[in-house]
């Protein structure tokens, strides 16, 4: 809070201006309605998935526990940015105070970091399930799952506590117009009138580590899985293993691809318009796609959904 107060004193005002998506659109009202519908779909889809996993005993396994954590992250993730964006459009306001900006940035960075590590934990779970099926109940016990999930949330929050205070402590004596629809770290950092080159280098290294460690875990897990699948004699076993892993790999490619563009490519590759489009993809669209990927392609989840709908219909 002291850092934010110093920033406000330095600039003479504490409100940032979010230029947002709607200023770029020829039909802002229509775009607002579409984003609101997508937001409701993301919340309902992930909430239903969490409810199914919690209520159906057949889904009380480590894999579905991690999927429920992913859905929870996605629900919070999209709620950090979209409600304010829609409310600002409806109210005709596009300002955000420094404390609100800092809180939004912290939650966003924390959730992104947590999801990086959660996807790695999910890959490790698939590795143990396919490569060490007999030891799976021991290696992926409830205590281990809780430890891994807690570790993902903790490591994500460390990233948030590192990047947010430093970013918000810079003096902002240029225009306070953020060419984005939320307070993303690179979009806010560029507004600073001080030399941020050292911080940008450190941020780049931090993001490389945040990406590199999970990517190494995911890559090594799936290489070992592929070797195990190749040795399988049963065609049905191969098909089931591929089906289980393909959903997770789809989510990994979608999420990590967008993150690599945002945080690892040089600034010469970036424009405000491109950055916003990429951010729309992984902050708004990905939370909608994840429950569809894990439900439509999963017989257990679809079975649990049909069972729930049948029971409610009978009642």
* pLDDT tens figures, 196-238: 788 877 877 877 788 888 889 998 998 898 888 878 776 766 7
Asked whether residue 144 carries a pLDDT value surpassing 90, the answer given is yes
Average pLDDT score over residue span 232-253: 73
CB within 8 Å of 72: residues ≥ 6 apart = 46, 50
Band of pLDDT at residue 266, cut at 50, 70 and 90: low
Q: What residues form DSSP beta bridges with 95?
A: 17
The dihedral region occupied by 179, where left means phi > 0, alpha psi between -120 and 50, and beta the remainder, is beta
Residue 269 has a pLDDT of 67
Q: What end-to-end distance do the CA atoms of the chain give, in Å?
A: 53
Residue 259 has a pLDDT of 74
Angle at 78 between CA 304 and CA 150, to 5 degrees: 70
Asked whether residue 117 carries a pLDDT value surpassing 70, the answer given is yes
Band of pLDDT at residue 42, cut at 50, 70 and 90: very high
Residue 65 has a pLDDT of 95
- The pTM score is 0.86
All structural domains of the chain, each given as residue ranges with its CATH number in brackets, are 16-300 (1.20.1070.10)
Q: Residue 294 class from Cβ within 10 Å (0-12 exposed, 13-18 middle, 19+ buried)?
A: buried
Distance, CA of 282 to CA of 74 (rounded, Å): 10
Residue 10 has a pLDDT of 46
CB within 8 Å of 173: residues ≥ 6 apart = 10, 11, 193
Residue 147 has a pLDDT of 96
In the chain, count of helices (H) and strands (E)? 12, 3
């Amino acid at each position: 809070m002291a850092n934010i107060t110093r920033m406000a004193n330095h600039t003479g005002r504490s409100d940032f201006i979010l230029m947002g998506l709607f200023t770029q659109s020829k039909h802002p009202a229509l775009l607002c309605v579409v984003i609101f519908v997508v937001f409701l779909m993301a919340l309902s889809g992930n909430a239903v998935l969490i409810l199914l996993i919690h209520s159906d005993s057949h889904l009380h396994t480590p894999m579905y526990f991690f999927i429920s954590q992913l859905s929870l992250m996605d629900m919070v993730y999209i709620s950090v940015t979209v409600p304010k964006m829609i409310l600002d459009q409806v109210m005709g306001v596009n300002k955000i105070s420094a404390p609100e900006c800092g809180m939004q940035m912290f939650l966003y960075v924390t959730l992104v970091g947590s999801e990086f590590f959660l996807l790695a934990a999910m890959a490790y779970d698939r590795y143990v399930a396919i490569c060490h099926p007999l030891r799976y109940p021991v290696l992926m016990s409830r205590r281990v799952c809780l430890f891994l999930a807690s570790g993902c949330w903790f490591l994500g929050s460390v990233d948030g506590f590192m990047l947010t205070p430093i970013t918000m402590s810079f003096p902002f004596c240029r225009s306070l117009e953020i060419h984005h629809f939320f307070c993303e770290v690179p979009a806010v950092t560029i507004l600073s009138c001080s030399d941020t080159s050292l911080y940008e280098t450190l941020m780049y290294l931090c993001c490389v580590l945040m990406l590199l460690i999970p990517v190494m875990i995911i890559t090594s897990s799936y290489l070992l899985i592929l070797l195990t699948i190749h040795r399988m004699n049963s065609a049905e076993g191969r098909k089931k293993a591929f089906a289980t892993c393909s959903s997770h790999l789809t989510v990994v490619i979608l999420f990590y691809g967008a993150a690599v563009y945002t945080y690892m490519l040089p600034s010469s590759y970036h424009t405000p318009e491109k950055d916003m489009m990429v951010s729309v993809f992984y902050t708004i669209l990905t939370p909608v796609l994840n429950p569809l990927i894990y439900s439509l392609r999963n017989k257990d989840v679809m079975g649990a959904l049909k069972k729930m709908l049948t029971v409610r219909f009978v009642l």
